[in-house]
Chains A and B, each alone.
Chain A
């Protein structure tokens, strides 16, 4: 909402400096988003009067204009404007004025020149030259009463508050509404605009008829009649105000309806009375299949949910949204039927959404206007039509309403005020503030106020609403500030969140870079990284109104997002090893319920391993580099995982493992299939792993249980065996660990090639033997070692390597 300050000053004295006023309004909840000054760079430009016009001796299109300036000097200007006339007040810029060149649009400084042999003392300026609009056909004519010699800025310049309003305050969509706020904040009084006029016409009853068939959607309909209007341009002051407020002047009648809407906040509509069949207005729902050409020239299909204004036959307007082209006020209009009504807010909102038209009227109606307002606004508009359009007002109004609207009264106790604000306010101050806002306030001893809500404040209905009114005018910053006291509620654990944060920190600490990617993705990306059966059994949720195809589905895996991020990183990495991870949710559809949101982690790395200097070597990082990070995380969680070879899209078979704990899958680890990598424009090896934190969580011990440290020495033994190449080392380790005497075992060599026979490999282990009960003898260790070797031979066909 644009509020021109000069207009605002009609209703309230502006006693504060502009910036301070804006600050106070903003603090009180009426946010001044911008202070716009419509005055251009008009230094030196003043009001002048055209006193004489003579033809140019040497050019047909040009004239020599004599202008009278402030010091009663007269200067001659060469001018080409067709609309210049003697007696006009015009904007005169002397030599040296900065202006906008009407042809090139560039900022220029006016130089002393001779035009076709005649010297010009300056220029009479067009709107384009002044930087107000693109109008360059003629000069800008100023109001007749503009004092000669005044700086132009004081005539044309407007300071405008551009308000960013909240949807609860439709009353502020009016200059008068803002004036009430200014009055309350600065302790001044509001001057209401006059609604007094003389009705010299016949009574409206019997001349026009209004039938409201749907009282639910139209709680009040007020109609007025003005006869004998002369359609013309509205007066300059009114046009200027409309322009300043951001509206385009049309004609005097339409301008008055807009003016009163901007002034009081009540949308009005003027019908050409002659265009209404049967001289009748019917407020009804649209008929099925009914359509209407609106003022914007477009035909709209209507539906029975929509409320229309009709005449004896057809719809002539969509109630509260837009009038129809048929009944529009034109130059031929003689009699105007003025509509000032109240429509159900939700219905207006639904209708304008369905029709995809948002108007100044619908913006106000959908926020819920006061039912008190229609007759007041109607009388104001009629008064202006009588004064400006030369009309005769019919006597009386048609006012169709379901009973007299009641005042809203709210009881506010001192106790409530103090409970909410944390401070006791003197009853005198409470009254002063509320009355300043137009509320009625009666102190009822010993402890309460009876507050009467002014009709325009449709947003105030309970005690706490009144509390806010008091607080915002006093100023939130003036109220006390305290620390929370009282009991701190008992803690409730968030095990999933705790696990996710532990994993996140461990991954970052192990050298992975965290990324956060969008939760929405597209189907092709999901198809690339998920097995078709997964997509079939758990189809992703689709967004009904996606912003773009790129973000159409809720992701069911992080794989796609992490690969996209990886690809992006690779492009700027110069071959260095890139390692990234994300911890985020995936969304799995559930029937008739919200989707199952599963916390997952996905990591990917790609690039060549660094040498001692951090430079990429020739060796690409792969499966084991990824596994190192995964092992780091799981070890930190005190979880022992098994790795079993797995086949799973989009991983590369033979280089992929399922990560399981106690036989249950908690994740996957592997190298990405090069074809899938290529589909993400990655032309190098990628290793990935992912964890389902929901599956992992039950396996993570809450605490670590201490095991006594054995006081007896351990015996370290190496063991090298030769066995079939396809037996996983993990099985061997498992068997060695089965021995009660083995405290730990680690592998330190894997070897194939001569002298190891083809199809065989050599594995070397370092085993630590220890007992918690005694010092092991060499014989005991040797015996246990033999037992282990025997088992490996028996079950795996392994031979001791000599």
Chain B
């Protein structure tokens, strides 16, 4: 009996002795191979068990397995110690001043208006709106007439216009669009309901600039037409937009407003996030900030598009990206956006 068990305990003692003096990973691996490897001493004994009688196989097998477990554990511990030592050594030998900067990569970036526009469009896209675009230089027809703002209509004063020097039948007929609303007509001309579209783009006004006015601006027009769209849906859509852009805790309020191409017309306001409704300079002491104009598409415009005005209703809205960017970033002067001062742009 001892003839078999003796070598096995000797193996254990020898292995542990050898292991104690091993000082690097290569030696450790050689040790592992010589005892635990495929042709290792312990492995060979375990493999030879099959030839022994059952009684011996049991006792010797249990002993061999115990030793195997012990050697494996000891190996794992030693290995872990080596790993730790190595990390410590590298830090010791090749220590870096981690506070130094990396070599510079060129730092580009998108304009804050581009970024804000993207965020706004993303909100509407997630509500099923598609993005379309239209011309910046427009016919009077699309910019005004088809929107129920004929020549000599007093509402024309709401949009001071830059006209292209070109006359048709003795009248100026081409202009820099004053809003993105002409796209309502353009979209209705080429599509049938259901419609859900947002149209971003630049607009232009004959306007003296000041901290809150700029003659070039970026707007987003929205249009949704279907059987069963109501003002409640418009309110829901705009409230969702306001919360996603300005924060979940924002309160929204609607008031009646007038645009010739909607009926009823409205304005969306959010509670001032600077003074939280108490009244400050940003909100003009009202506690509310005007965000956008909207309304139900005028039934005459629905009918002009060839849709059944008794069946189809819809809403439209128009919002100014500069204003939203101003509010989000706390910019105090709208003229910063197109003045292209590097020190301004680099902050975004």
Chain A residues engaging chain B, CB cutoff 8 angstroms: 26-29, 31, 166-169, 345-346, 349-350, 366-368, 418-423, 462, 464-465, 467-468, 471-472, 476-477, 479-489, 491-492, 494, 496-497, 504-505, 507-520, 541-547, 551, 554, 565, 568-569, 572-573, 577-579, 585, 587, 594-595, 597, 610, 612-614
- Assuming A487-B194, A572-B342, is B337 touching A516 (CB within 8 A)? yes
Which residues from chain A contact B127 at a C-beta distance below 8 Å? 484
Which residues from chain A contact B67 at a C-beta distance below 8 Å? none
4 nearest A-B residue pairs (beta carbon): A511-B106, A422-B230, A422-B232, A29-B256
A515 touches B231 (CB 8 A): no
**B157 contacts partner chain A, Cβ-Cβ < 8 Å:** yes
- CB of A104 to closest CB in B, whole Å: 30
Which residues from chain A contact B226 at a C-beta distance below 8 Å? 486-487
Segment with Cβ contacts to A, from B24-32, B41-49, B260-268: B260-268
The complex places the Cα of A236 from the Cα of B108 at a distance, in Å, of 68
**B165 contacts partner chain A, Cβ-Cβ < 8 Å:** yes
The complex places the Cα of A569 from the Cα of B113 at a distance, in Å, of 19
**B296 contacts partner chain A, Cβ-Cβ < 8 Å:** yes
CB<8 Å pairs between A and B, sample of 28: A26-B255, A28-B256, A29-B258, A418-B230, A462-B263, A465-B263, A468-B265, A471-B231, A477-B254, A480-B232, A480-B235, A484-B236, A491-B130, A504-B110, A513-B108, A513-B346, A514-B108, A515-B340, A517-B338, A542-B164, A543-B163, A543-B165, A543-B176, A554-B164, A554-B176, A568-B341, A572-B343, A585-B136
B230 touches A419 (CB 8 A): yes
Which residues from chain A contact B257 at a C-beta distance below 8 Å? 29, 166
A519 contacts which of B111, B202, B237 (Cβ < 8 Å)? B202
B132 touches A492 (CB 8 A): yes
- CB of A162 to closest CB in B, whole Å: 12
- Assuming A477-B254, A517-B340, is B135 touching A594 (CB within 8 A)? yes
Segment with Cβ contacts to A, from B52-60, B81-89, B97-105: B97-105
- CB of A522 to closest CB in B, whole Å: 14
- Assuming A476-B254, A508-B110, A568-B341, is B296 touching A484 (CB within 8 A)? no
**B313 contacts partner chain A, Cβ-Cβ < 8 Å:** yes
B155 touches A168 (CB 8 A): yes
**B278 contacts partner chain A, Cβ-Cβ < 8 Å:** no
A613 contacts which of B101, B158, B338 (Cβ < 8 Å)? B101
A578 touches B342 (CB 8 A): yes
**B229 contacts partner chain A, Cβ-Cβ < 8 Å:** yes
Q: Is the interface of B mostly helix, strand, loop or mixed?
A: mixed
The complex places the Cα of A469 from the Cα of B280 at a distance, in Å, of 31
Which residues from chain A contact B136 at a C-beta distance below 8 Å? 519, 585, 587, 597
- CB of B126 to closest CB in A, whole Å: 11
A545 touches B231 (CB 8 A): no
A497 touches B258 (CB 8 A): no
**B12 contacts partner chain A, Cβ-Cβ < 8 Å:** no
7 new A-B contacts at CB < 8 Å, known A486-B226, A511-B107 = A419-B230, A471-B264, A514-B109, A514-B114, A542-B165, A544-B163, A546-B162
A483 touches B236 (CB 8 A): yes
The complex places the Cα of A27 from the Cα of B254 at a distance, in Å, of 7
Residue in A closest to B154 when the chains form the complex, CB atoms: A167
The complex places the Cα of A345 from the Cα of B255 at a distance, in Å, of 28
Residue in A closest to B287 when the chains form the complex, CB atoms: A23
Flag B106-130 by CB within 8 Å of A: 1 or 0 each: 1111110110000000000001101
Which residues from chain B contact A479 at a C-beta distance below 8 Å? 231-232, 235
A594 touches B138 (CB 8 A): yes
Residue in A closest to B259 when the chains form the complex, CB atoms: A166
B206 touches A516 (CB 8 A): no
Which residues from chain A contact B263 at a C-beta distance below 8 Å? 462, 464-465, 467-468
Chain B residues engaging chain A, CB cutoff 8 angstroms: 101, 103-111, 113-114, 127-128, 130-133, 135-139, 151-155, 157-158, 162-166, 172, 174, 176, 191, 194-196, 202, 204, 206-208, 215-216, 224, 226-233, 235-237, 239-240, 253-258, 260, 263-266, 296, 298-300, 313, 337-338, 340-343, 345-346
The complex places the Cα of A139 from the Cα of B101 at a distance, in Å, of 75
- CB of A419 to closest CB in B, whole Å: 6
A167 touches B258 (CB 8 A): yes
Residue in B closest to A483 when the chains form the complex, CB atoms: B236
- Assuming A481-B236, A569-B342, A578-B342, is B114 touching A504 (CB within 8 A)? yes
B264 touches A468 (CB 8 A): yes
- Assuming A28-B256, A494-B131, A569-B342, is B206 touching A547 (CB within 8 A)? yes
B114 touches A484 (CB 8 A): no
Residue in A closest to B118 when the chains form the complex, CB atoms: A501
The complex places the Cα of A527 from the Cα of B72 at a distance, in Å, of 83
Residue in A closest to B104 when the chains form the complex, CB atoms: A614
A166 touches B258 (CB 8 A): yes
- CB of A258 to closest CB in B, whole Å: 21
The complex places the Cα of A346 from the Cα of B195 at a distance, in Å, of 35
A486 contacts which of B229, B265, B343 (Cβ < 8 Å)? B229
B299 touches A462 (CB 8 A): yes
B224 touches A484 (CB 8 A): yes
The complex places the Cα of A510 from the Cα of B110 at a distance, in Å, of 11
B137 touches A541 (CB 8 A): yes
Which residues from chain B contact A345 at a C-beta distance below 8 Å? 152, 154
- Assuming A167-B258, A421-B230, A421-B231, is B299 touching A464 (CB within 8 A)? yes
B106 touches A510 (CB 8 A): yes
B216 touches A511 (CB 8 A): no
- CB of B280 to closest CB in A, whole Å: 16
- CB of B95 to closest CB in A, whole Å: 19
- Assuming A29-B255, A510-B108, is B235 touching A489 (CB within 8 A)? no
Which residues from chain B contact A27 at a C-beta distance below 8 Å? 253, 255-256
A568 contacts which of B206, B224, B258, B342 (Cβ < 8 Å)? B342
Residue in B closest to A363 when the chains form the complex, CB atoms: B154
Residue in B closest to A416 when the chains form the complex, CB atoms: B310
The complex places the Cα of A565 from the Cα of B202 at a distance, in Å, of 19
Which residues from chain B contact A477 at a C-beta distance below 8 Å? 253-254
The complex places the Cα of A201 from the Cα of B112 at a distance, in Å, of 73
B109 touches A508 (CB 8 A): yes
The complex places the Cα of A633 from the Cα of B35 at a distance, in Å, of 59
- CB of B304 to closest CB in A, whole Å: 14
- CB of B346 to closest CB in A, whole Å: 7
Which residues from chain B contact A418 at a C-beta distance below 8 Å? 230
B108 touches A489 (CB 8 A): no
A476 touches B230 (CB 8 A): no
Residue in B closest to A413 when the chains form the complex, CB atoms: B310
B345 touches A420 (CB 8 A): no
- CB of A368 to closest CB in B, whole Å: 8
Most chain A beta-carbon contacts within 10 A, residue among B154, B196, B226, B260: B154
Which residues from chain B contact A420 at a C-beta distance below 8 Å? 230-231, 264, 296, 313
Residue in B closest to A366 when the chains form the complex, CB atoms: B154
A597 touches B233 (CB 8 A): no
- CB of A612 to closest CB in B, whole Å: 5
B111 touches A516 (CB 8 A): yes
Which residues from chain B contact A520 at a C-beta distance below 8 Å? 162, 176, 204, 216
B196 contacts which of A421, A489, A511, A612 (Cβ < 8 Å)? A489
The complex places the Cα of A471 from the Cα of B266 at a distance, in Å, of 10
The complex places the Cα of A421 from the Cα of B263 at a distance, in Å, of 11
- CB of B242 to closest CB in A, whole Å: 12
A597 touches B135 (CB 8 A): yes
Which residues from chain A contact B135 at a C-beta distance below 8 Å? 594, 597
A541 touches B340 (CB 8 A): no
- CB of A694 to closest CB in B, whole Å: 13
